[in-house]
Amino acid sequence: MQEHDVACKRELQRMRKFKVYNDVTLFFIFASRYVEHQYDVYNDYISAKFKRTEKKLRRICAVENHLCDIFLAHLTYTAIENLAKFLKERRNGTLGRGSGNGTNASSSGNGAEELSEREIADIRRQIEAVNAEQRVLNEEAFGPLAPDAPVIVVQVHDRLTYLRHLIISLAQARGIEQTLLVFSHDVWNPDINYLVQNVDFCRVMQIFYPHSIQTHPKSFPGESPNDCPRNIRKEQALNLGCTNAQHPDLYGHYREAKFTQTKHHWWWKANRVFDRLTATRNHTGMVLFLEEDHYVAEDFLHVLRLMERTCKHSCERCNVLSLGTYLKTYNYYADFSKKVYRVAANSVCYYSISFLQFSTLLSRTQRRW
């Protein structure tokens, strides 16, 4: 037992030295899934972390040590090793399946590094191979995807730390083992690939947007030498004879590849998941779209199923559900009333309902049940 404690302590302290984040918050969030009744202590840690007091650093250190003691009392060495997978960097440049054959493309994750033609061609070949294979990782452990099981699609660019947070929150979600988790990338990054391929709590698939800026750095759909500058006036663009001079956007701006890529990637991944994947060919369940900088609650799948069930009774035309909003303030009643009015007034619209309206709709529906 003493040897076990020493091994755990050594592993935990080693993990705290990882430089993937500027503190150990990420580890504590993930470790909390293994420890019951730790929330009060963790909240103390968070409140101390964000309070601007003279004793801030001393308080954080004390709470971190307290949390370490709690985790050491509950975590097994195997559990700590499991946690480490999502926190460590790629070891010794070793690449897993789908991570490349030695090409250190965009190892920093920003997709802006100057790549040689040979490296770009190599990335294109690997993207084509992965997309053609359509391999579902962990399928031997969790079995085939049920037709009505949720499919979660994550759009990934190059923010590795944010993606770690999202994966850790997904790992804590109840019922996550029933899902298929699809990561759709527009940057080939060995470190991101390594992280994704270490996810073992559900089925996982990677798909790669083949028309990215990374693989087309000097031609459409990337940046082309003859592209119109973003803020140039239309008259100036016509005089320059630059590409698409006749067609600025609604605000008078011209195309920027880094922004249009996000939109093009979104539509490509939606069509890919709905129409081109063997794993989703007979799928009849919900498809949830996330992005790399999102974070999910532990009960998000349960709430999503409740929303789906409620819509069948109270909003049959609703075919888009939203689990969140970017707004900091929200008028629940006013927006819900507008949605109800639209349902009553127009029979041909496509309708949506957000989680923020869900509580009101659910209470009304329960009265009918």
C-beta of residue 100 within 8 angstroms of C-beta of residue 188? yes
Same domain membership, residue 260 and residue 168: yes
Q: Is residue 80 part of a domain?
A: no
The reported pLDDT for the residue numbered 225 is 87
Provide the greatest CA pair distance for the chain.
79
Q: Is residue 207 part of a domain?
A: yes
Same domain membership, residue 298 and residue 155: yes
Same domain membership, residue 53 and residue 147: no
Say if residue 148 carries a ligand binding annotation: no
Say if residue 302 carries a ligand binding annotation: no
Structure-token pair, residue 111 = 């997709």
Q: Is residue 91 part of a domain?
A: no
Say if residue 85 carries a ligand binding annotation: no
pLDDT above 90 as % of the chain: 39
The reported pLDDT for the residue numbered 113 is 63
Instruction: Tell me how crowded residue 4 is: count the other CB atoms within 10 A of its CB.
Output: 11
Q: Among 89-98, 138-147, 244-253, 313-322, where is mean pLDDT lowest?
A: 89-98
Give the structural domain span for 302: 134-227+256-321
Distances (CA, A) of 292 to 199, 227, 356: 15, 29, 22
Say if residue 293 carries a ligand binding annotation: yes
Q: What's the whole-number mean pLDDT along residues 87-112?
A: 45
Same domain membership, residue 286 and residue 142: yes
What confidence tens digit (pLDDT) does each residue in 337-362 have? Answer: 554 444 444 433 444 445 444 445 45
Domain boundary among 287, 304, 321: 321
Q: Is residue 288 part of a domain?
A: yes
Q: Is residue 151 part of a domain?
A: yes
Say if residue 275 carries a ligand binding annotation: no
The reported pLDDT for the residue numbered 27 is 55
Same domain membership, residue 58 and residue 138: no
Q: Is residue 187 part of a domain?
A: yes
Q: Is residue 5 part of a domain?
A: no
Q: Is the pLDDT of residue 178 over 80?
A: yes
Same domain membership, residue 304 and residue 181: yes
C-beta of residue 134 within 8 angstroms of C-beta of residue 279? yes
Same domain membership, residue 59 and residue 144: no
Same domain membership, residue 182 and residue 284: yes
Say if residue 264 carries a ligand binding annotation: yes
The reported pLDDT for the residue numbered 283 is 94
Say if residue 263 carries a ligand binding annotation: yes
Q: What is the CATH number of the domain that holds 211?
A: 3.90.550.10
What confidence tens digit (pLDDT) does each residue in 142-173 have? Answer: 999 999 999 999 999 999 888 988 888 898 88
Same domain membership, residue 198 and residue 52: no
Q: How many domains does the chain have?
A: 2
Say if residue 262 carries a ligand binding annotation: yes
| CA–CA gap between residue 158 and residue 302 (Å, rounded) | 30
Distances (CA, A) of 79 to 30, 72, 76: 11, 11, 5
Say if residue 227 carries a ligand binding annotation: no
